[in-house]
């Protein structure tokens, strides 16, 4: 019987290592599908098509099944609709270092709460649970790019930059 080689990580974004860790821990068993998608959701703040494809291939389940899981459970959100996405880490380390204040500042600037997109479609705001960079808490992902030691001013500055585009 041919041995299975899991597909390469979609990028060098370290969050994929967290996702892969969940699958490896479960021996890449298809039973790990929901748990793995949970890890994607909590690491990225949403589950997009690339993630669905990667997880489905790694666990050898049909893509439709993975898609079915994220659309069935309210816990999951598909990739946000905004042109830009700000994801604020709400894991313990980031929370202790003031992530709630970052969320508050972003909510105030955008007039939306996490999980929503501004009416002009410019920005979606999401939260994640530990993106694996605790030493740089609080951490914000701006369009997937990791920014550590984030201040409220810097977060709002980023949002201003997007608004001015």
Question: Sheet harboring 123-128: ordered strands across?
Answer: 123-128, 84-89, 140-142, 145-147
Instruction: Provide the token pair at 19.
Output: 């996702």
> How far apart are CB 162 and ligand FES at their closest, in Å?
22
Q: Which is nearer to ligand FES, 37 or 90 (CB)?
A: 90
Give residues in contact with ligand FES (CB under 6 A): 89, 91-94, 130-134, 137, 139
Rounded to an integer, what distance in angstroms lies between the CA atom of residue 15 and that of residue 21?
A: 10
Q: Which is nearer to ligand FES, 34 or 134 (CB)?
A: 134
> How far apart are CB 92 and ligand FES at their closest, in Å?
6
> How far apart are CB 21 and ligand FES at their closest, in Å?
14
Position with the least CB separation from ligand FES? 91
> How far apart are CB 95 and ligand FES at their closest, in Å?
7
Rounded to an integer, what distance in angstroms lies between the CA atom of residue 136 and that of residue 134?
A: 5
Of 54, 44, 71, 50, nearest to 7 by C-alpha is 54
Q: Which is nearer to ligand FES, 66 or 150 (CB)?
A: 150
Q: Which is nearer to ligand FES, 32 or 150 (CB)?
A: 150
Instruction: Provide the token pair at 40.
Output: 């994607």
Phi, psi (deg, nearest 5) at residue 6: -60, 150
Cis bond before residue 138 (omega within 30° of 0): yes
Q: Which is nearer to ligand FES, 23 or 150 (CB)?
A: 150
> How far apart are CB 144 and ligand FES at their closest, in Å?
14
């Amino acid at each position: 019987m041919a041995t299975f080689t899991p597909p390469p990580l979609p990028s060098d974004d370290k969050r994929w290592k967290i996702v892969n860790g969940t699958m490896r821990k479960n021996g890449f068993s298809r039973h790990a599908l929901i748990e793995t998608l949970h890890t994607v959701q909590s690491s990225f703040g949403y589950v997009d098509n690339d993630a669905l494809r990667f997880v489905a291939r790694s666990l050898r389940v049909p893509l439709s099944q993975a898609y079915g899981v994220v659309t069935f459970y309210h816990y999951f959100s598909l990739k946000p609709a905004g042109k830009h996405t700000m994801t604020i880490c709400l894991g313990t380390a980031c929370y202790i270092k003031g992530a709630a204040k970052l969320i508050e500042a972003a909510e105030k600037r955008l007039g939306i709460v996490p999980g929503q997109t501004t009416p002009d479609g410019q920005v979606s705001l999401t939260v994640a649970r530990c993106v694996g960079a605790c030493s740089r808490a609080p951490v914000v992902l701006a369009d997937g790019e990791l920014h550590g030691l984030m201040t409220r001013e810097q977060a709002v500055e980023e949002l201003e930059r997007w608004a001015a585009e």
